[in-house]
């Protein structure tokens, strides 16, 4: 048997190591245009808006607008009653409003911010974000010792979450108009200033929701990047959804009879 120094499979002429194709990080994690695929009819956001509007209709029918006792009887966040065990008021209050201007402003911002957040995080994480931000707003509002209503705490939470996730993933998430982040910050700052000037505005709820939403925006997995099915299949996402739905159902057990009564 003869042996030769030449390789059994000679390397093709002109082939260099640098010619070997490699998979780069940009191929594994491609950039995403944030607005691509965003729906103008976000299902969960519109469902929350419908719930707020329907409940507002019950308020009008029962004469519970800008009336402290009427709001309290309906399910407003009353620190004294919450301390007595009516913790469901922390969430029911986020579906009540003081007047027409109050609900109009909230549903407009809920639609705008809900469209962005529901697209960014997926429906399950969005619902959990909304509920948790609303609860955090009510919890901080408790320290003010006043009766409070409105979805503003939850809405501020959506604004904080959206700005936080756009900033955190700014290297991969591309927004057509980057001024949207500045616009949201300016809106939140303006609302907080107005809240500081007007004693009837519950700025504690605003701050509570904003802080909570900002933290969650840094922690949640963006479905727009990681994939909606992949994010939904996470155990943490399913657990958060179950807890959010349980909180809504538990609140409804005490809240709905008051609306109907």
Q: Are 3 and 144 within 8 A, CB to CB? A: no
124 catalytically annotated: no
Q: State both tokens at 153.
A: 């705490």
Determine the Cα–Cα distance for residues 44 and 124; give it in Å rounded to an integer: 9
CA 28 to chain centre: 28
**The one catalytic residue among 119, 152, 169, 174:** 152
Report how far residue 237's alpha carbon sits from residue 226's, in angstroms, rounded to the nearest whole number: 13
105-137 in b/e form (b: 16+ CB < 10 A) is bbbebbbbbbbbbbbbbbbbbbbbbbbbbbbbb
In 3D, which of 152, 143, 103, 129 has the Cα closest to residue 44?
Answer: 129
Q: Find the helix packing angle between 100-121 and 43-61, rounded to 10°.
A: 160
119 token code pair: 């697209």
DSSP string across 155-200: HHHHHHHHHHHHHHTTTTEE-SSTHHHHHHHHHHHHHHHHHHH-TT
Number of C-beta neighbours around residue 206 at 10 A: 26
User: E-strand spans in the chain?
Assistant: 32-33, 173-174
Q: Which one of the listed residues 119, 174, 206, 221 is annotated catalytic?
A: 206
Task: Tally the residues of the chain.
Answer: 261
By three-state DSSP, how is residue 63 classified?
coil
* Residue numbers annotated as active site: 152, 206
């Amino acid at each position: 048997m003869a042996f030769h120094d030449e390789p059994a499979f000679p390397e093709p002429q002109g082939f260099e190591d640098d010619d070997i194709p490699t998979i780069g990080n940009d191929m594994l994690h491609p950039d995403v245009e944030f607005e691509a695929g965003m729906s103008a009819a976000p299902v969960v956001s519109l469902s929350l808006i419908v719930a707020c509007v329907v409940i507002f209709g019950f308020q009008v029918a029962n004469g519970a607008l800008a009336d402290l006792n009427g709001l309290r009887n309906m399910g407003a966040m009353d620190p004294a009653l919450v301390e007595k065990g009516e913790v469901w008021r922390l969430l029911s209050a986020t579906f009540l409003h003081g007047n027409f201007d109050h609900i109009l402003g909230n549903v407009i911002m809920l639609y705008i911010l809900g469209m962005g957040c529901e697209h960014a995080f997926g429906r399950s994480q969005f619902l959990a974000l909304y509920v948790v931000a609303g609860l955090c707003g009510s919890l901080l509002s408790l320290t003010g010792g006043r009766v409070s209503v409105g979805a503003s705490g939850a809405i501020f939470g959506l604004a904080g979450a959206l700005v936080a996730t756009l900033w955190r993933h700014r290297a991969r998430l591309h927004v057509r108009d980057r001024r949207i982040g500045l616009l949201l910050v300016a809106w939140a700052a303006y609302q907080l200033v107005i809240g500081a000037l007007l004693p009837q505005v519950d700025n504690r709820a605003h701050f509570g929701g904003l802080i909570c939403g900002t933290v969650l925006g840094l922690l949640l997995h963006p479905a727009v990047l990681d994939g909606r099915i992949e994010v939904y299949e996470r155990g943490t996402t399913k657990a958060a959804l179950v807890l959010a739905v349980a909180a809504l159902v538990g609140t409804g057990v005490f809240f709905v009879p008051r609306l109907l009564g």
